[in-house]
Amino acid sequence: MKTSEIKELTDKEIIEKIQLETEALVRLKMNHAVSPLDNPTKIKVARRNIARLKTVLSQRELKQN
């Protein structure tokens, strides 16, 4: 997910996306611990998506204050 796409979302949608991405990351890590994933870079992509979402959310909070 690109930053430009994230900026178009509302705060509520961003929070929901963070929760979904976090759950997906946990599942990926669990699956990878049990048996190696076909594409382990999915874990890195999920972490970076969560970071992007949190960054945009914190930037919006700073602008409001």
Task: Please identify, in words, the CATH class of the domain defined by 3-64.
Answer: mainly alpha
CA distance 14 to 59: 12
Contact 18, 4 (CB under 8 A): no
Report the distance separating Cα 4 and Cα 8, nearest Å: 7
pLDDT tens sequence for the chain (65 residues): 888 999 999 999 999 999 999 999 999 999 999 999 999 999 999 999 999 999 999 999 999 98
- Residue 65: its pLDDT value, please? 86
pLDDT for position 35: 93
Domain boundaries, the chain: 3-64
Please name the amino acid found at residue 20: L
pLDDT score, position 55: 96
